[in-house]
Structure 1
């Protein structure tokens, strides 16, 4: 009787390949940042929902008051008249400012933790030996946070607009204020993506976590300052000229005045007045132009990052 032994071979365990494996790796390595991002979004969502519930009270409280109350004016001693509108406006301002400055922590994190630390520690090269090309590695490192940033920032942006109700400037600020403008439109999402791309490029250039975080933050700061400084020039202004004098509405973003006086400047009524300004209807053209510029910066920085990676890897 012959016994035939059949040898069975167990295939070697392989690391997960393809986008799913890389995505999971990114989420695991950066789970602390992911948890922080999730908690931040949760807190912002809860806060904005609550602010929306007190918006009507804040609007009613944001009126002139008198002590004692008379002629239909609320009492200044009323808690509602003193505090509800302040709480509401401060809460909206906090969220709006955070949205306008999201580029800074994103750029520092992308340069320091997302790219710089992995290159400095050798984690990136280890991944490249596991049938993961450098280009795919970088693409995943960019795609995962880009998707999370777009979804999260976009969600908070929409909630912020919902919580602002009727956009009363006395409560939520004027649309052309630096923080307000950058935190109430698609510019907020574009800033986050630009910060991600600039930080990634800094990480690939320096290959060290702390220097890359600093350079990424600095690049984001310079971009933010330049766009804020020249924002008024991104779209042609409107000029209004009339005889005598006139006032522009509060919703107009005033750029300059030209007053023509008679023989004695400063005395009496001016002969004519000319004002240069951005009306509120320019909000969307300005938003879209600045968003386009930011996305262009993000695209250029991303292309430069892939080019640099290709030059530095076999």
Structure 2
């Protein structure tokens, strides 16, 4: 077969959008629903819960007291739903990318058919990385901004509001949510290229995303310089922030001692008798944005490595394959010389 240089190049982006239109509609519906929920959390739901907490704090529990418990619980439940949904997006993207975006097309032979009809394997893969990446970024960035807005609406007003360093809240509250979603996309694409089967690629893509998430969580506290604070025994240790290390300050010499295992009161008293206070190595609230940005940079670096691995896997899969096809005839048959 010979290549016709005058043959029109297929419109890969348009075909990709049409092929995955149901997934696009479903993702758009999910994003719209989450956005609406988070707008409600930042407005009427937060206001109702704040009024409920005002009633609680004004109560004299020596007598019968009424307060809007339903509003308080409703806000907490809906906040958790929104937070977990935003955090789950990278896994959903990874599962879709592994199963439908690459795994199914390689399993059914659709990808190889495209490679023989004027679309090179590299161009095929680039379209499956670039176009979904634009959609994922455009959807997750407003979601984490709205989540941060909903979280901020409860600070100082709701006694049950989550701290900034709560694991689920931290990742849903900033650009790490978008970065992790892109990592999920790259992990799913790579899983599909490696396994070339729908269901196994779905599982591997989601599992790889979980691995990226766990690795990032372990490295995150070490991406920005920490603060060390020493407190007295009466003050106790620092309770708010991302704790990296905590222990006792020795009474003699000022060295560091591990926190005691208080099996009994006597054990605790004996350990505390050797200490003059507590030391805490941690990240305070002022480190929120530095940690968000450095963590996002780390995730995007890992995403770049996954993308590179995807191109290497594609090269191993296709070898010297080149598009050598003529335009299709009226009946769909190849026109050859």
TM bucket, shorter chain: 0.7 to 0.9
- The aligned runs of 1:172-251 (5 Å cut-off) are 172-247=161-236, 251=240
Instruction: State how far apart, in whole Å, the 2-side matches of 1:74 and 1:36 are.
Output: 51
Instruction: State how far apart, in whole Å, the 1-side matches of 2:292 and 2:303 are.
Output: 16
Partner of 1:91: 78
Distance 1:93 1:16, change over 3 A: farther
What's the offset of the Cα at 1:97? Answer: 1.7
Partner of 1:292: 297
Instruction: State how far apart, in whole Å, the 2-side matches of 1:182 and 1:211 are.
Output: 27
Structure 1 position 277 matched with structure 2 position 291: no
Check the 8 A contact 1:65/1:74 in 2, yes or no.
no
Partner of 2:262: none
Instruction: State how far apart, in whole Å, the 1-side matches of 2:307 and 2:237 are.
Output: 43
Distance 1:66 1:186, change over 3 A: closer
Check the 8 A contact 1:134/1:309 in 2, yes or no.
yes
- The aligned runs of 1:28-107 (5 Å cut-off) are 28-54=18-44, 55-63=46-54, 65=56, 69-70=59-60, 76-78=65-67, 80=68, 82-107=69-94
What's the offset of the Cα at 1:52? Answer: 2.2
Q: Which of the numbers 104, 117, 124 marks the counterpart of 1:117? A: 104
Structure 1 position 17 matched with structure 2 position 4: no
Distance 1:208 1:162, change over 3 A: same
Deviation string for 1:184-237 (max 9, x for gaps)? 010000100001001111111111111111111111112222222443333332
The runs of 5 or more residues in structure 2 that have no matched partner are 1-5, 253-268, 322-337
Check the 8 A contact 1:175/1:251 in 2, yes or no.
no
The CA RMSD over aligned residues, in Å, is 3.0
Q: Secondary structure at the residue paired with 1:173? A: coil
TM-score normalized with structure 1 length: 0.84
- The aligned runs of 1:126-205 (5 Å cut-off) are 126-168=113-155, 170-205=159-194
Instruction: State how far apart, in whole Å, the 2-side matches of 1:311 and 1:270 are.
Output: 61
Q: Secondary structure at the residue paired with 2:270? A: coil
Distance 1:246 1:189, change over 3 A: same
Check the 8 A contact 1:120/1:209 in 2, yes or no.
yes
What is the count of residue pairs matched by the alignment? 296
Partner of 2:95: 108
Instruction: State how far apart, in whole Å, the 1-side matches of 2:223 and 2:313 are.
Output: 31
Partner of 1:9: none
Larger deviation: 49-58 or 132-141? 49-58
Deviation string for 1:117-150 (max 9, x for gaps)? 0011111112122211111111111111111111
